[in-house]
Structure 1
């Protein structure tokens, strides 16, 4: 990544990894360590569930106690009725980072949404709006038919996707049909990333998988103890579209099914825990493979702030 004007003005710390890996706690520890050296750190959310005000419990948003006096931004910043795309979040994050750098503050990005982070650092492809008629036709296709069409019209993208991944298949197909260019061709034209104009200090957390999955199971139980069912009841009462991201967040469909009497409480818990583990597994794979090879990877028990963030914490 590129360098900023100075270690203070251009510095951005990044702590990323799968859900339940302890990222938020470590971000607070880093901010406190900076404070002890006369500098200030502010934690910026990079988690696609924690952006929604409606998901305080189910997104495990940090409490006042968890924050330990450290300022946190972009947590609960979107109403659930308004989808927060990767581009929306990246635009907000860039504004916050610029404002913090102007004050000599170190932004500390923390989260597990790889697409958010990639969009912020690498930019976004300037794909024009999809023709509504094309979208309607593509979204009406059964997934097997859409996949066959994608194999014919964008074979490279089709080969990279699971044949059952209906959302990504439809997206790739509507892009090539509406614009005449493949997703890869558009992605080669990405603009707006800040990766080359900041001094990035990244750390990827990759815990032992058994430890991580046990944490996921326990965390879902804790969410129920802290009011997750009431949180979903409040969401359902708003009558929001089931297609909104907030309504598809992990735990919401499972608890909603329980509230409708479709499954038992035990089945709801098992389904919520499984969904959380599946999500953590996907995140683990993404963060192991996708970020640059020179980004440090570490297990939570082997982290030393003074080693991994030595250049930020030097006196």
Structure 2
């Protein structure tokens, strides 16, 4: 089975920098699996690779979607599967990079796909906004096994589980048993995890937020709102964007917005680490160990 490299880890740890380094050294092409970097026009706030990096190594699945387009793990897997084959056919090595753990897991093990009618999705989302607790009670009745595993406040998973039930007539727990993630691997994935001491990572995150503001993050959001995009769009609910919108609306000060972005980004990094620490077969390194990582990968790529 041909090999794929994946670089994982928390936000701000240095994944993109390592990906470009490895792409140059290993004749690779970079494939994004960061859910926000799929969107066009979200550049500064998502820390998307710049022009210089993209000239050095081919980058894929960036600037893929309009801000109001829907996307999910199943669609990602479908697009990524075709792209990986094309990269192999060019004699190159695919290097996946990102922090959206669910997308990588779906890519490695597969994911059941159900096309949910817009009416069902719209109705459930509206109800979730109005009374999430009643939706959770409904899920407890229809799929008690899955409801036990998730938080009563997890809007995304509650609505997704009910979408599956109302579309297929079967609970999501049934599909998880039929097609569990940790079944047969679809790819020979070499996973490199980047990690830093917690204090050092948090300091990097705090500084990065300041740099993003200085680079024009506020102006980026302002222009998008002036184009007529609704502040209620899903990408704008992501870390950082919602607080910049609140600042632009005069609801909070810039200092408060920065403080909240830094806090939420640190919390997100902690959740990412928790997720990836539970994933099997990740080889962990400090982001400064580029040569060591390169030599490790050369050995792995040379073995069957």
The equivalent position to 1:15 in structure 2, one of 4, 7, 29, is 7
When the two chains are superposed, the root-mean-square deviation of aligned CA atoms in Å is 2.7
Instruction: Say if 2:120 and 2:166, in contact at 8 Å, map to a contact too.
Output: no
- SS of residue matched to 1:124: coil
Higher-helix-fraction structure: 2
- How much has 1:138 moved relative to structure 2? 7.1
- SS of residue matched to 1:107: strand
Superposition pairs for residues 145-156 of structure 1, below 5 Å? Answer: 145-156=134-145
Would you say 1:171 and 2:160 are equivalent positions?
A: yes
TM-score normalised over the length of structure 2: 0.88
Instruction: Say if 1:28 and 1:68, in contact at 8 Å, map to a contact too.
Output: no
Unaligned stretches of 5+ residues in structure 2: none
Q: Which residue of 2 aligns with 1:41?
A: 28
Residues 190, 127 of structure 1: alpha-carbon distance in 2 compared, 3 angstrom cutoff: farther
Q: Which residue of 1 aligns with 2:102?
A: 115
1:218 and 1:99 map into 2 onto residues whose CA distance is 38
Superposition pairs for residues 51-200 of structure 1, below 5 Å? Answer: 51-67=38-54, 69-130=56-117, 132=119, 136=123, 139-140=126-127, 142-190=131-179, 196-200=185-189
Q: Which residue of 2 aligns with 1:307?
A: 296
- SS of residue matched to 1:109: strand
Instruction: Say if 1:16 and 1:23, in contact at 8 Å, map to a contact too.
Output: yes
1:252 and 1:13 map into 2 onto residues whose CA distance is 30
- SS of residue matched to 1:54: coil
Q: Which residue of 2 aligns with 1:245?
A: 234
Unaligned stretches of 5+ residues in structure 1: 5-9, 35-39
Superposition pairs for residues 147-296 of structure 1, below 5 Å? Answer: 147-190=136-179, 196-289=185-278, 291-292=279-280, 294-296=281-283
